[in-house]
Structure 1
Amino acid sequence: MSDARAPVALWRTVRALSDFWRLLEVRAVSQFGDGLFQAGLAGAILFNPERAADPWAIAGAFAVLFLPYSLLGPFAGALLDRWDRRLVLIAANSGRLVLVVGVGVLLEAGLADLPILLGALIVNGFTRFVSSGLSAALPHVVPRAQVVAMNSVAAATGAVAAFLGANFMLLPRWLFGAGDSGAAAIIFIVTAPVALALWLSVRFAPGMLGPDPSARAVHGSVAYAVATGWLHGARTVLAVPTVAATLAGLSAHRAVFGINTLLVLVMVRHSDLAAVAGLGTAVLFVAATGTGSFLATVITPMAVKRWGRYAAPNGALAFAAVVQLFGASLLLPVLVGCGFLLGAAGQVVKLCADAAMQVDVDDALRGHVFTVQDSLFWMAFIAAVAGAAAVIPPDGHAPALAVTGAGIYLLGLAVHATVGRPIRPG
């Protein structure tokens, strides 16, 4: 089959997997809503003429939004391996719908940042629960031999949807304004994709998305399973070298992304750009990173097929370390270009981590490890943002931070290359 016909063949394969197609539909509308919500919230808190944000305020906003669920997620992740994942998706999307309305009301009332962020925190918790549930359910709707390829399709679909949602936010912001009332209008619009995700989740048959009965399942009461969620998740990660190695590389990438994000946000806010222009620059950086991630979803299956799940992340992390050094110039166009390339490199590692968890981990514990991944994903990001906020000058001119990012990539490469090295027979 020629390379020109490969996309057509992939499309036919996806359409032939009807249950996977329905899972894609849920992921697409869910992540469109998430992208719209996150961008609307960023505009409301960080680029709102009625509010102000210094580096510590930015770090604090990220911490309030993502750290609590990152710490508690693996406890709740035990429920993904105990309850029907279809019911989990329905309940989580229902909770999102109610709470998104609540956040919009808080913004419309002009309340301070903290209650708004706390409401958004719970919304994000439900969103992460949906994301982990969709990832854990994927092997139930895809033949084992096609997991890597279809995982790339799912990741690409989610990335494009989130990108479109984030950029769609600019239209209602232009229509309704950059103040609290305009931000509230954007958040209310989020209810449409969330409600659609809820309706699509209901269409799955009970039990279709797992979990399967297994001797490795965590037995005992629900309270016991939740209380030991972190323990079982961490034990499973450490017991599977492919998972531990790729999660170490992914954590390194997220830490560097946190540093670069703070650099861009502080530099943009320090400039004299208007609120919309400043937000547009930040969105451009995120969009470049997302575009690179989308490109990686196309090339990763080919890279894994040629070099394997061990060598591909090693090459991606080494490449990222070199690219990150160029970011030390602290020129916004260069940082945007670095965001594109680093987004691609990081997504290679992310997709290999997903494949390791979907192929090498028993279904009875798959929900546990996906929530551990989600926790590490955000904890590394928040820790890096907080650390950078402690040393970054008011104008954001800190080339040493960019160089530190290159060192973090090399550390992630060293751990991945050591822990994930395949064991040779004999």
Structure 2
Amino acid sequence: MTDRPHHIVLRAVQALPDFRRLLELRAVSQFGDGLFQAGLVGALLFSPDRAATPWAIAGSFAVLFLPYSLLGPFAGALLDRWDRRQVLIVANVMRLLLMIGVGALLATGAADLPILFGALIINGFTRFVSSGLSAALPHVVPTEQVVSMNSVATAVGALAAFVGANVMLLPRWLMGAGDASAAVVIWLAALPVALALWLSVRFHRHLLGPDDSVRAVHGSVTYAVVTGWVYGIRSVVNVPTVTATLAGLAAHRMVFGINTLMVLVMVRHGSGEHVAGFKVAVVFVAAAGIGSFLANVVMPAAVRRWGRYTTANGALAISALVQLSGSGLQLPVLLVCSLVLGTAGQVVKLCADSAMQLDVDDALRGHVFAVQDSLFWMAFILAITVAAAVIPADGRSSTLMAAGAAVYLGGLALHATLGKRTRTGGTV
């Protein structure tokens, strides 16, 4: 009797104790992040006491993610200089303290700006954790298992974030849509972050890297940080498989930004009841999350069959067609689109992760993951800001949906052209 695929994966995870500990850390960290982000969105965008115009939505995302996106590659250099275990410990300590503070601001009815500022710093430390975990994965997994175990790690993380985001519905249902329930959610999010801190301490020193090599950035820490963007971009450009997949990933994030704004404006202004509107938004997020989870099942088999290059090309082509099919702006159709686009976008993301984990020297891997994270959010913010300038008051725009399909086709063209330069059989 042949073993089922999930039994094989489970045995592989059990045979890698350090990877299993990394998986536990990712799960609790992303559970806390999902709970925190959902609580923040509920407080700022779906509170009866706060405005949520398209520009306010775009501005909130920009304040939360743009500053770190610009500074991330500078700070990301530290992931290739300092013991990544130590970085995880410090980042989780700061997340824990700041979440307690943001919860206190919400409990006292503070204005949006100090809450956004606190959340901005929390998101910066969260990016440290996520980039550090991705960069460290090849240290706890044999090279031939990196693609499959990265899919397992991403699936577990996505599921944990999804569960965390939905846990916030309970205090919101019990206490209403005001700042008091939002504060409780933020304080609840601090609990898994505290657990993530404890799990970070359990790793042995230097187990997670970085390795020193001739390609490492030598010199002072200040020099490494100041040149973070330079070395990060140079590393991306020098590895065409990474350049190609990041181009495709940027296209997906831009379309995700457009669609996010449209859905938020539609549900925020299409219902007179804030809790109902928030529930509709949660359904869309859930569909995308389920799609992301499915991608972690599909991607390893697709890569084995067609290779990374063809798999990412196919995902981008399917995304363009699905995006165009949603131009009628019917909510049930958009829900299906969210599911499929979540799957296809995560496939591209996994291909990008695999390229960075397999094709980039460990001494520069933190730089490259930081550049990816910055590109991830800058593309999202650029798209949501441009969309805010042209979106109608009710959020319904077939033109924006068609523009999203064009962006996907542009990403497909870039990926197909750049990735073809180093295509070698089925391995790229």
- 2:352 corresponding residue in structure 1: 353
SS at match of 1:216: coil
Runs of 4+ displaced beyond 3 Å: 422-425
Q: What one-letter code is carried by the residue in structure 2 that aligns with 1:20?
A: F
- 2:30 corresponding residue in structure 1: 31
Q: What one-letter code is carried by the residue in structure 2 that aligns with 1:38?
A: Q
How far, CA to CA, are the matches of 1:301 and 1:416 in structure 2? 19
Q: 2:132 matched to 1:133?
A: yes
How far, CA to CA, are the matches of 1:274 and 1:171 in structure 2? 17
SS at match of 2:218: coil
Correspondences of 1:22-421 after superposition (within 5 Å): 22-421=21-420
- 2:20 corresponding residue in structure 1: 21
How far, CA to CA, are the matches of 1:251 and 1:327 in structure 2? 20
SS at match of 1:190: helix
Measured at CA, do residues 400 and 418 of structure 1 come closer, stay the same or move farther in structure 2, by a change above 3 Å? same
How far, CA to CA, are the matches of 1:327 and 1:392 in structure 2? 16
> Could you report, residue by residue, the CA deviation over 1:382-405 in whole angstroms, capped at 9, with x for unpaired residues?
100000000001111211000000
Q: What one-letter code is carried by the residue in structure 1 that aligns with 2:234?
A: R
Q: What one-letter code is carried by the residue in structure 2 that aligns with 1:256?
A: V
How far, CA to CA, are the matches of 2:67 and 2:423 in structure 1? 41
SS at match of 1:209: coil
Residue 274 of structure 1 deviates from its aligned partner by 1.4
Whether the 8 Å CA contact 1:176–1:185 is kept in 2: the answer is: no
Point out the more displaced range, 130-139 or 46-55. 46-55
Whether the 8 Å CA contact 1:86–1:207 is kept in 2: the answer is: yes
How far, CA to CA, are the matches of 1:342 and 1:320 in structure 2? 6
SS at match of 1:60: helix
Whether the 8 Å CA contact 1:251–1:380 is kept in 2: the answer is: yes
Whether the 8 Å CA contact 2:309–2:423 is kept in 1: the answer is: no
How far, CA to CA, are the matches of 2:192 and 2:32 in structure 1? 5
Q: What one-letter code is carried by the residue in structure 2 that aligns with 1:42?
A: V
How far, CA to CA, are the matches of 2:326 and 2:14 in structure 1? 41
How far, CA to CA, are the matches of 2:174 and 2:192 in structure 1? 20
Whether the 8 Å CA contact 1:32–1:165 is kept in 2: the answer is: yes
How far, CA to CA, are the matches of 1:272 and 1:320 in structure 2? 29
TM-score by length of 2: 0.98
How far, CA to CA, are the matches of 1:42 and 1:330 in structure 2? 23
Whether the 8 Å CA contact 2:72–2:370 is kept in 1: the answer is: yes
Residue 344 of structure 1 deviates from its aligned partner by 0.4
How far, CA to CA, are the matches of 2:165 and 2:272 in structure 1? 20
Point out the more displaced range, 333-342 or 74-83. 333-342
Q: What one-letter code is carried by the residue in structure 2 that aligns with 1:175?
A: L
Measured at CA, do residues 140 and 424 of structure 1 come closer, stay the same or move farther in structure 2, by a change above 3 Å? closer
Residue 106 of structure 1 deviates from its aligned partner by 0.8
- 2:7 corresponding residue in structure 1: 8
- Number of positions where the alignment pairs a residue of Structure 1 with one of Structure 2: 424
Whether the 8 Å CA contact 1:177–1:183 is kept in 2: the answer is: no
Residue 277 of structure 1 deviates from its aligned partner by 1.1
> Structure 1: 5+ residue runs without aligned partners?
none
Whether the 8 Å CA contact 2:45–2:52 is kept in 1: the answer is: yes
Whether the 8 Å CA contact 1:310–1:422 is kept in 2: the answer is: no
Q: What one-letter code is carried by the residue in structure 1 that aligns with 2:405?
A: A
How far, CA to CA, are the matches of 1:272 and 1:220 in structure 2? 57
Whether the 8 Å CA contact 2:241–2:422 is kept in 1: the answer is: no
> Structure 2: 5+ residue runs without aligned partners?
none
SS at match of 2:407: helix
Residue 272 of structure 1 deviates from its aligned partner by 2.2
Q: What one-letter code is carried by the residue in structure 2 that aligns with 1:265?
A: L
How far, CA to CA, are the matches of 1:242 and 1:19 in structure 2? 28
TM-score by length of 1: 0.98
Q: What one-letter code is carried by the residue in structure 2 that aligns with 1:266?
A: V
> Could you report, residue by residue, the CA deviation over 1:100-130 in whole angstroms, capped at 9, with x for unpaired residues?
0111111111111111001000000000110
Whether the 8 Å CA contact 2:233–2:371 is kept in 1: the answer is: yes
Residue 269 of structure 1 deviates from its aligned partner by 1.2
Residue 333 of structure 1 deviates from its aligned partner by 1.5
How far, CA to CA, are the matches of 2:171 and 2:160 in structure 1? 17
How far, CA to CA, are the matches of 1:5 and 1:187 in structure 2? 40
Residue 231 of structure 1 deviates from its aligned partner by 0.6
SS at match of 2:177: coil
How far, CA to CA, are the matches of 1:25 and 1:10 in structure 2? 16
Residue 424 of structure 1 deviates from its aligned partner by 6.8
Q: What one-letter code is carried by the residue in structure 2 that aligns with 1:155?
A: T
How far, CA to CA, are the matches of 1:403 and 1:137 in structure 2? 39
Residue 422 of structure 1 deviates from its aligned partner by 4.5
Q: What one-letter code is carried by the residue in structure 2 that aligns with 1:358?
A: Q
